[in-house]
Amino acid sequence: MEKLFTGKTIDEALEAACADLGKSSGDFAYEIVEYPNKGFLGIGAKPAQIKVNIPEEIHDVRHVREKRSLSHIEKTPKKEKENKDVKKFVAPVHNDEGFKVVAPATKREKKILDGEEAEVADFLKGLFDLMKISADDIDVTIEEGKYIKITAFGQELSLLTRKHGEALEAIQLMTSLYMNRKKEQYFRSTLDVNDFRKNSAEKLERLAVKTAKQVLKTKRKVTLRPMSAFQRRIIHSKLQSFEGVTTYSVGEEPGRRVVIQYQKPETEKEEKAD
């Protein structure tokens, strides 16, 4: 469901959205529909207007609680009894609006690690222990002797995906520094938890294309919400070959944002030059 919010400025419209949703501006995506216009002597003045996608409630909280309270008296189906020893991972998935939806993931076969890959896994297990969270599975692959690719699964690891995955960026850096110092050579790490990066990338690519089409239609630039360096790279990369728009970043961390701006075609520029 889409909802419009207005204000004298973009910031006031954003504040109205935050108050209505009970969330901070970094917890949802929004699109600028109309920039404020003071008009002439007050005539033709227009307020700023933004559009926010609000997810519909899938489950009523009361219904969920009642269902849980009755679950102990419900009989377990025969098929579930037969498979009760099969372990399943519960992986948090984020929808298009950035809200978490918990869904069961398929069973994965654990890979036996050795050498440097085992050292990386042991380092992460120790780090997670210090953070008082546990991982059900940690898979490590080292490509070309220096690129460390890590995937981890576990319900408690969903804590690391908050605030757009800033914790993942920090753990990646610590892992690289640990291996660099221990082996005295260059390593670069990437960490994905419960397919967060994969799902986040797909969501951001859809947002990039949708916003770029809006910019082409209105010929007005759109500034997206603050994003991490990883998220900004996805937007820039997706729209690099998108004809008619250009992208750049503004602001300072952690409030750095991507701006998608209309770019006049070369033919139109040549006609004006003539």
Residue 204's pLDDT is: 92
Q: Which residues pair with 89 in a beta bridge?
A: 105
Q: What is the pLDDT along the chain (274 residues), one digit of tens a residue?
A: 678 888 888 888 888 888 888 777 767 777 788 777 765 544 556 788 888 876 654 334 444 444 555 454 444 454 444 444 444 444 444 444 444 444 444 455 667 888 999 999 999 999 999 999 999 999 999 999 899 999 999 999 988 888 767 888 899 999 999 999 998 889 999 999 999 888 888 999 999 999 999 999 999 999 999 988 888 999 999 999 999 999 999 999 888 999 999 998 766 555 554 4
pLDDT of residue 93: 46
pLDDT value of residue 36 = 77
| Half-sphere exposure at residue 11, Cβ-oriented, CA atoms within 13 angstroms | 0
Token pair 């790490």: residue: 189
Q: What is the pLDDT of residue 64?
A: 46
pLDDT of residue 109: 63
Give first-to-last CA distance, the chain, whole Å: 47
Q: Is 112 helix (H, G, I), strand (E, B) or coil?
A: coil
- The reported pLDDT for the residue numbered 163 is 73
Q: Does domain 197-274 match CATH 3.30.1370.50?
A: yes
The CATH superfamily of 115-194 is K homology (KH) domain (3.30.300.20)
**The predicted structure's pLDDT at residue 51:** 83
Sorted by where each begins, the domain ranges of the chain are: 1-58, 115-194, 197-274
CA 207/CA 223 separation, integer angstroms: 12
pTM, two decimals, is 0.50
The domains spanning 115-194 and 197-274 adopt the same CATH topology: no
